[in-house]
Amino acid sequence: MSEKVLAREGRVIVRKFKRSDLADRSAWPPYRDPLNTHLNFDLSTFIDRERWLFTRKANAGRMYFAIEDEQGRLIGEMSLRDIESHEKTSRLGIHLASNKVSQGYGREALAGLLTYYFDNMKWNTMYLDVAAFNFRAIRLYERLHFERMRDFWRRISADDCVLTAPEYAHIRHLMRRAPGGIEALHHDMLLTKERYFETLAQGTGEHLVAE
């Protein structure tokens, strides 16, 4: 691993995503839940990989980060898009390999990125949007002190079964049928540098303070 480490937190490091990561990424097991299958990408051919990289790296409005676990394996990615260099704001994306969720890696990776973003880059605000049915992600963001700003409906790429199958009954009210597809309620959230440093100061010197 030769890429510069941008942040270390718990078991993970955060660094820039590099072309050679694509081989590891393409070996991630796919998500099976229809609400997450949009996260699966077929990167088996050279063209697939170049297209994937082009939309992420060549686009000047994005920064792309890799998450490595304690064994140096690629376990996730984070992105900053809608970058406003003048305002020093951007919008977060985060996504772990399907076999790495709910083990605390997301919290460590995002805490690391926040340190880099606010302490090193000295940026002002991080925005994100999250589907209201994504309770795990919302818990993560709230735990790291993101605040909800507003709610809105957005089209999602999911099969109709999410509106009918019993396993989705508990989140059915957070989705609706719309012309040409399905929409899900989303939350817009943000974390300002003031709140980041304020909550850091109230903690124990590290950002992963249990609540």
Ligand X SMILES: CC(C)(COP(=O)(O)OP(=O)(O)OC[C@H]1O[C@@H](n2cnc3c(N)ncnc32)[C@H](O)[C@@H]1OP(=O)(O)O)[C@@H](O)C(=O)NCCC(=O)NCCS
Q: How far is the CB of 86 from ligand X (least distance, A)?
A: 26
Tell me if 127 contacts ligand X by CB under 6 A.
Answer: no
Tell me if 103 contacts ligand X by CB under 6 A.
Answer: yes
Tell me if 137 contacts ligand X by CB under 6 A.
Answer: yes
**Burial of 60 (C-beta count, 10 Å sphere; 0-12/13-18/19+):** exposed
Tell me if 106 contacts ligand X by CB under 6 A.
Answer: yes
β-pairing, 181-192 vs 147-156, is: antiparallel
Tell me if 101 contacts ligand X by CB under 6 A.
Answer: yes
Secondary structure, 3-state, 131-173:
ECCCHHHHHHHHHCCCEEEEEEEEEECCCCHHHHCHHHHHHHH
Nearer to ligand X, 50 or 171 (CB): 171
Nearer to ligand X, 6 or 67 (CB): 67
Helix (H, G, I), strand (E, B) or coil at 203: coil
Nearer to ligand X, 28 or 196 (CB): 28
Query: Which residues ranging from 148 to 207 are in contact with ligand X (CB under 6 A)?
Result: none
Distances (CA, A) of 60 to 1, 7, 43, 79: 25, 22, 22, 12
Tell me if 139 contacts ligand X by CB under 6 A.
Answer: yes
Interface residues with ligand X (CB under 6 A) are 36, 39, 94-96, 101-107, 130, 134-137, 139-140, 143
